[in-house]
Structure 1
Amino acid sequence: MSDRFVVQSLDEIRFWSRIMKEHSFFLRLGFRCEDTQLINEANHFYRVFEGIEQRSHSFQGDVDPTTIQQFNIEVHSAVSHIWVFKRRILDLILTCRLPGQNNFPLLVDHTSREANYFRNRLVELNQGKLEPLQDAIIDENVFFLRIMADHAKFIGHLLDPSERKLVEQAREFSHDFDELLYQAKELDFMRPQSQTAPLLTQMLDQNKVSVKSLRDFKQTARDLIEQCKIKSIIHPLLADHVFREAERFLEIIDMFEAALNKKS
């Protein structure tokens, strides 16, 4: 294990532990007041990931890699538990045992997919078995394009229907990212023959343009929500949450572009 392992591990944990913490908060907001057990569990996970986030920032770059390896194992356990919690909530919703609650089934599934992504990343880091570049490019884009498509759908449904222009923009982004996701999946199905530098570069270029547009839309919506200038039931933290995930995707695309250029 190396300094790179430490840096990558802490970067993943610092970003995703905050996301998991916020998921706990958003899910809690959607429960009915009588769902005290679920509310308590959500509060528990909020505290767990708040603690993980704080611990991750306490480590310096020169920390012993074995310490971070053990930290990854602890975080993996916590993420596995919140994944189970999210899937249980989804089961309760889909079997109509939480009538009147306000968490969309797709939102709960969305948060569980992100938890599964996070714990898989921790396993890969600890085992030192990161994907080859070409596989990683396709897999990361398939994952994040679906996340971005979901975000557009959530925004469209949480804006007040009278915000017609913004709702229409959200629908357009939803359609755009569904199409990009289908294209990425088609490259996935055509593997390994599709893993050429020109095809991967074109996918990254195309996705980057759309993600930047969606990122800017999210930023505008976030600012308007914070200033109370639009009508919605979107919590300001949720608006910032989805903005940060778009920023994360752009960072990953930039990293892949640099790696492809270096390889070529």
Structure 2
Amino acid sequence: MRSLDEIQFWSRIMKEHSLFLKLGFRCEDTQLIQEANGFYALFEQIEARSHAFSPATDPEQIRKFNTEVFTAATHIWAFKRKILGLILSCKLPGGNNFPLLVDHVSREANYFRSRLVELNQGCLEPLPDAIIDENVFFLKIMADHAKFISHLLDPSERKLVEQAREFSHDFDQLLWQALDLSSMRPQSQTPPLLSQFLDQNKVSVTSLRDFKKTARDLIEACRIKSIIHPLLADHVYREAERFLTLIEMFEQCLTGSAAPNPSFRY
């Protein structure tokens, strides 16, 4: 049932990406707005359908559904890369979608479709590789989030802007450490090193998660000045929660308190 959990989480993320991209387009970008609306409706439907399955569902039905969702994820990935190309070639002047943000959401779409392929085919990484690769991916996502927050807060919110910049620096450093650990494979994949790696990341992700929660609550209460959509504030908070859950699962696997790779099963 793991693939259904992935679909339920990431289809909502893809749906919200469609909304955020649409909000960043110019009024005259009617074709792009229409495409974004189409993807919003598509992933809203996928999210709803995913909840209709149960543990008793025939695995073959789930595999077919996964394949269908993979196609949708591939299409939204291509849409996002098209937008990035338009922005970088200066064909959308005056829009409000940062190039890094568009690249960011396309990386998440690619991650989503890759996970579906792994789960459908059963081509799953060994635990040490999964620990490093998943952390490299999510550390980059968290670093990006901090940068987006610092740029979307009003400049007069000096204290919060500075906090976001500090998180950006922290996660950039953690990402480089993760990449160093990755390049030292397989010799670096000892339980003590991987355990320390997870412990260090968990502390920073927890702090960032709490910062995002505070920012979300303040934005929803209209207590700070920003151009951050309340849904975006909740969106980045949920992704930090997802990363923490993953770290905790990996910790359990390393200590033997959980079955190997429990997150990589149907």
Q: Deviations over 1:13-70 (max 9, x none)?
A: 0000000000000000000000000000000000000000000011111100000000
* CA distance in structure 2 between the aligned counterparts of 1:217 and 1:44, rounded to whole angstroms: 33
The match for 1:159 is: 153
1:132 paired with 2:126, answer yes
The match for 2:71 is: 77
1:212 paired with 2:206, answer yes
2:92 aligned to 88, 98, 105, which one? 98
1:40 paired with 2:1, answer no
* CA distance in structure 1 between the aligned counterparts of 2:15 and 2:45, rounded to whole angstroms: 9
The match for 1:143 is: 137
* CA distance in structure 2 between the aligned counterparts of 1:198 and 1:255, rounded to whole angstroms: 16
Structure 1 residue 77, shift from structure 2 partner: 0.1
1:60 aligned to 41, 51, 54, which one? 54
Structure 1 residue 129, shift from structure 2 partner: 1.2
Structure 1 residue 263, shift from structure 2 partner: 7.8
Equivalent position amino acid for 2:123 in 1: K
- TM-score after normalising by structure 1: 0.97
Q: Deviations over 1:203-240 (max 9, x none)?
A: 00000000000000000000000000000000000000
* CA distance in structure 2 between the aligned counterparts of 1:263 and 1:160, rounded to whole angstroms: 45
Unaligned runs of 5+ in 2: 259-266
2:9 aligned to 11, 15, 25, which one? 15
- TM-score after normalising by structure 2: 0.96
| SS of equivalent to 1:99 | coil
* CA distance in structure 1 between the aligned counterparts of 2:55 and 2:232, rounded to whole angstroms: 31
The match for 1:246 is: 240
Alpha-carbon RMSD:
0.9
1:30 paired with 2:33, answer no
| SS of equivalent to 1:23 | helix
The match for 1:87 is: 81
Displaced runs of 4 or more, over 4 A: none
| SS of equivalent to 1:58 | coil
